[in-house]
Structure 1
Amino acid sequence: MPTSPPTAPRPARARTGAVSALLVLGALAYSMWLIEPFLGTGLSPLSSYVSELAARDQPYGTLFRTTDLTAGLLVLAGAVGALRWLPRRWGTVVGWAGLALFGAATAVDSRLPLSCAPTADAACVAREGAGLVPAAHTAHAVSSSVAVTGALVGMVALTLAARRHGSLLSRASSSTLLLTLLELAATAWTLAAVAAFDAGLGTWGLGVGQRLQVLLIAVWLGLLARAVVRRG
């Protein structure tokens, strides 16, 4: 008589469910910028940084700073939970540590908002060039870079671990690999656009590139959460 496959003990299922829920909620909070067309922010999604939505002089800055903080803390908690409760290999440890770094840096980033929106405000650009903006502008750039680096480390390490060891993301490895490659391309686009803007050569679709970058991270987190709960 055929037997059903063994199920994980209830505490283990509860833990994997908690990790999955934290990642899903973090991905949703990280995607709150998608509501910008309905808010009339005055910023162009084609040319503005996503983080400009949270600038101190923007009408919905408090909302977006709060959702960024929430997203960072949720992903950090999910990654730490995964490091504690899920099976560990070298690749998965690196991957989850990368996502923990992403979450922590995103939370810090929300506490270091821009004072103004440089892509939409010539006076803001002039103040940046003259060094008359708060030090938070430089700190924000650093924390944003650390967050993206952490996300990339997490995406690459966990995807490679799945393909090598058939663990966690193995059922969705093709999709996660594609998303990871697209994320690398979107990051390259964003970096090139930032360099062009800083050199006074226009925005090169900066807003599109960066929005694609953060959207792909959120979608990847959603796939990861699904893989975690299915594993449990």
Structure 2
Amino acid sequence: MSATERGGRLLGALLALGAAAYSAWALEILLPTGLDPLQAYVSELAATDQPYGAFFRTTDLVAGALVLTAALYALRTGDRRPWAAAGWAGLALFGAATVADARLPLACAPTADPACAAREAAGLLPAAHTVHAVTSGVAVAGALLGIVALTLAARRYRRWPALARTGPLLAGCALAATAWTLTAVAAFQSGHGTWSLGAGQRLQVLLVAGWLAVLAASVARGRR
């Protein structure tokens, strides 16, 4: 096995593990979290007052660290043409912001706890709760940059056939799910209900994880 093949397999393994850790929120199906998955933010699972908060914060931290490591490795050793470099930079930003998300969790669950929502609106929650919204936004922006740019790189540079075939559909769906999520967040913050905020955001993170899994398989196989 050549050094290039070993590097591709290492990169693929890091991304695959990152995608798996980023999907840990799905374990809410088995755990009595007390949150409504159709309405609650995914981040509320990791809030400091939630029963399984430490577990979900840990999986977010692991996911971010793995994707950040993979992206930095690719930037150092891989394709540096514009779309590829932009995509890996986006994933590095996503990974770093996801680590920050885990270290700056929500203090409580505003969609499930009216008292929490009232304190949030009044600005009475810890600074980390407010900063979490910023790091989450940065993570989404980085993920979307990575998804779009690396999908374009796969098609334009004629590499990673699996990503070139399925990437456009996943990218389009991820952008649509992001639009749904942002609209629902705006509605919730203006007092007009949640608009199934939880469902939209869960679809968004599921698509990001799915795209990461396709990327992982693609880079592990190289050009084959």
Q: Same fold (TM over 0.5)?
A: yes
Alpha-carbon RMSD across the aligned residues, in angstroms, is: 1.0
- Structure-1 separation of matches of 2:149 and 2:66: 20
Aligned-pair identity in percent equals 62
- Structure-1 separation of matches of 2:69 and 2:218: 17
- Structure-1 separation of matches of 2:20 and 2:106: 23
Are the counterparts in 2 of residues 91 and 158 from structure 1 also a CA contact under 8 Å?
Answer: yes
Q: Letter of the aligned partner of 1:185 in structure 2?
A: A
Q: Letter of the aligned partner of 2:163 in structure 1?
A: A
Residue 109 of structure 2 corresponds to residue 114 of structure 1:
no
User: Over residues 28-81 of structure 1, what are the superposed CA-to-partner deviations in whole Å (9 max), with x where a residue is unaligned?
Assistant: 000000010111100000000000000000000000000000000000001111
- Structure-1 separation of matches of 2:132 and 2:163: 34
1:72-87 to 2 correspondence within 5 Å? 72-87=64-79
- Name structure 1 gaps, 5 residues minimum: 1-8
- Name structure 2 gaps, 5 residues minimum: none
Residue 62 of structure 2 corresponds to residue 70 of structure 1:
yes
Q: Structure 2 length as normaliser, TM-score?
A: 0.97
Are the counterparts in 1 of residues 162 and 214 from structure 2 also a CA contact under 8 Å?
Answer: no
Are the counterparts in 1 of residues 177 and 203 from structure 2 also a CA contact under 8 Å?
Answer: yes
- Structure-1 separation of matches of 2:94 and 2:56: 17
Residue 124 of structure 2 corresponds to residue 127 of structure 1:
no
Q: Structure 1 length as normaliser, TM-score?
A: 0.94
> Between Structure 1 and Structure 2, whose CA radius of gyration is higher?
1
Are the counterparts in 1 of residues 9 and 221 from structure 2 also a CA contact under 8 Å?
Answer: no
Are the counterparts in 1 of residues 18 and 63 from structure 2 also a CA contact under 8 Å?
Answer: yes
In structure 1, the partner of 2:135 is 143
Residue 159 of structure 2 corresponds to residue 159 of structure 1:
no
1:163-182 to 2 correspondence within 5 Å? 163-167=155-159, 169-182=160-173
Shift of 1:17: 1.0
In structure 1, the partner of 2:210 is 219
1:179-218 to 2 correspondence within 5 Å? 179-218=170-209
Secondary structure at the counterpart of residue 177 of structure 2: helix
- Structure-2 separation of matches of 1:157 and 1:87: 13
Q: How many residues align?
A: 223
In structure 1, the partner of 2:97 is 105
Residue 219 of structure 2 corresponds to residue 228 of structure 1:
yes
